[in-house]
Amino acid sequence: MIHTDNPFADPPDRREPDRQFRGRLAAGVTIVTTGSDEDATGLTVASLFLVEGEPSTIHFVAGPGTEFWDLVVTSGRFVVHLCGEDQHGLAEVFAGLRPSPGGKLTSAEWAPTEWGPALGELPNRAFCRMTSVVETGFAGVIVGDVEKFELDDLIRPLIYYRGRYRHLD
């Protein structure tokens, strides 16, 4: 990593109150993947929650008009991967903070599934079918029914808090 801080980030005193408030919400880091073959892509997402039910649903925030957004909407399916503290570098790649020549997925081993790429080093996954999309403010919310879970032991999750990846102590 070249910089310890994001050189493009607004200084704290110039950030809007909603961004400052959001930054104070600690969140688990996930990587959401979608698409297939050469069209596959992914995005690091911390604004995400799961609602238990029959079926359970996952809601996450992404930017409308991006390649990722367009691919999720077109494919109608996605995979949510939970990141452990040792996936800090991979989270930076999928957030666009670390270069990955050849595309984001060249930085990880993955296998195609009917929902999108399953990243090999992230075994905690939810496989989802999109049910709705709502554009609001500068972002949008994508909602999907969870059709399948794959769970492994995750003791030390990667956390995003106040603009940085952090670990639980």
| 31: its two tokens | 């990587």
pLDDT value of position 13: 73
* Helix/strand/coil for 96: coil
Question: Domain total for the chain?
Answer: 1
Calculate what percentage of the chain has a pLDDT beyond 70: 93
pLDDT at 12: 67
**pTM for the model:** 0.90
Residue 47 inside a domain? The answer is yes
Percent of the chain at pLDDT > 90 equals 72
Strand partners, 149: 126
Does residue 147 contact residue 128 with C-beta atoms inside 8 Å?
yes
- Whole-number Å distance between alpha carbons of 73 and 14: 34
**Rg of the chain's alpha carbons, rounded to an integer?**
16
CA dist 60 and 39 (Å) reads 21
Q: Report whether pLDDT(61) > 60.
A: yes
Average confidence score pLDDT of the chain:
91
Residue 31 lies in a domain: yes
Q: Decide if 84 is inside a domain.
A: yes
CATH no. for residue 105? 2.30.110.10
Any domain includes 3: no
What's the domain range around 81?
A: 12-167
Tell me the two tokens of residue 104.
């984001």
C-alpha distance across the termini of the chain, in Å: 23
What is the helix (H) or strand (E) element at residue 92, kind and residue range?
Answer: helix 88-94
- The alpha carbon of 10 is separated from its chain's Cα centroid by a whole number of angstroms, namely 22
Distances (CA, A) of 61 to 13, 40, 113, 135, 152: 25, 19, 23, 9, 25
pLDDT at 1: 47
- Answer yes or no: are the C-beta atoms of 123 and 84 closer than 8 Å: no
Reduce the secondary structure of 112-161 to three states and give it as a string: CCCCCCEECCCCCEEEEEEEEEEEECCEEEEEEEEEEEECCCCCCEEEEE
List the structure tokens of 155: 């003791």
pLDDT digits (tens, 9 = 90+) for 112-156: 999 999 999 999 999 999 999 999 888 999 999 999 999 999 999
Q: For 21-30, 50-59, 127-136, which range has the lowest pLDDT when averaged over its residues?
A: 21-30
The amino acid at 117? P
Answer whether residue 63 shows pLDDT above 70. yes
Mean pLDDT for 76-98 is: 96
- Position 156 in a domain: yes
